[in-house]
Amino acid sequence: MKIIRPITAKDYQALHDIAVESGIGFTSLPVNETLLKKKIDRAEASFAKNAMSPGSESYLFVMEDTLTGEVVGTTGIEAAVGLDDAFYHYHLGKVVHASRELNIHNTAEILTFCNDYTGVTEICTLFLREQARGGINGRFLSKVRFLFMMEHRERFSETVIAEMRGVSDDDGRSPFWEWLEEHFFYMDFPTADYLTGIGNKVFIAELMPKYPIYVNLLSKEAQKVIGQVHTKTRPALQLLQEEGFSCRGYVDIFDGGPTVEANLSHIRTAQNSRKLPIVIDDQTAAHGHTCYIINTSIEDFRAVATEMAVSEEQQVAVLSRQAAAALNLSEGDAIRFAPVKFRD
């Protein structure tokens, strides 16, 4: 069975291995011991904190294979971005140049440097190791965050975003960044990406062009990748689109990848989730449906994806003994759950 739980200090080596495997462009997991340990410390403090409003908390979870004890994936939530460090984006908009006298009307796309998403909640740091890919593991890692946020809404913003990895090749070459590098930065994409990942963002404010950039002035290669995602990111984007996320014209300042957003109350998994007390009955649970299930704890949070049944008459959820044990629950405790397959 796979469980999802809060990360702890003992998971450092697994998180380091995941950071190495994730590769260039996965900014939220820099291959840096000090930064990774600080990320774990921050997560542990966030889970222990009695937060009543979204702040600088960072919730980082890991997926563990209970048979082997191996950590096979990670996923995270930033409660409110941009409060401690500036949070930058480009917004893709339009300007019109028109002359009635000459009967000329031109519309041009522009990229405007902004901090519009300051204070919103960000889902991030989702990575599943290759040996665990398949089945519903990837979806489980993604959707568990929506259940956690719905259960503890006071800790999160109503607006939720996700930055999607933009186009780059195996060597870390980003067509979008290469144009910026040539004209403004004079450093390669892996270096800029790494500096951002370790929290060194001062250079962005110092060197990034302050005025809107006309898209048609960029190289043809750079123009083509604006709002496009990395090949490996397409399944993650599709999953979020199915949940109700969409792009409102915001793209990453380094690789041009899209940022998608949704209101928490409109996210499909969150909206369709329910909260009920449990009873434990192996036979009844086995004849139910597969659901994503979380306990209602924060510091002792646990999540599983398994079969369960619902008694509408008694208004209880029926779990197996194995599922209840994995969730650290006793009969009468509450769960929040959502179906793996929605009935459209």
Q: Is 230 a catalytic residue?
A: yes
**Helix (H) or strand (E) run with residue 113 in it:** strand 104-114
**Helix (H) or strand (E) run with residue 4 in it:** strand 2-6
* Residue 311 near residue 318, CB atoms below 8 Å: yes
71 HSE (CA, 13 A, CB side): 22
* Residue 209 near residue 184, CB atoms below 8 Å: yes
Q: Which residues contact 64 (CB under 8 A, 6 or more apart)?
A: 2, 3, 4, 5, 70, 71, 72
d(Cα 217, Cα 206) in Å, to the nearest integer?
22
d(Cα 189, Cα 174) in Å, to the nearest integer?
7
Q: Considering 230, 266, 287, 289, which one is annotated as catalytic?
A: 230
One-character DSSP codes across 210-261: SS-EEGGGS-HHHHHHTT---GGGHHHHHHHHHHT-EEEEEE-TTT--EEEE
d(Cα 38, Cα 55) in Å, to the nearest integer?
17
d(Cα 321, Cα 327) in Å, to the nearest integer?
10
d(Cα 179, Cα 166) in Å, to the nearest integer?
15
Q: Which residues contact 161 (CB under 8 A, 6 or more apart)?
A: 81, 117, 120, 121, 122, 123, 259, 260, 261
Q: Which residues contact 314 (CB under 8 A, 6 or more apart)?
A: 279
Where in the sequence numbering do the catalytic residues fall? Answer: 230
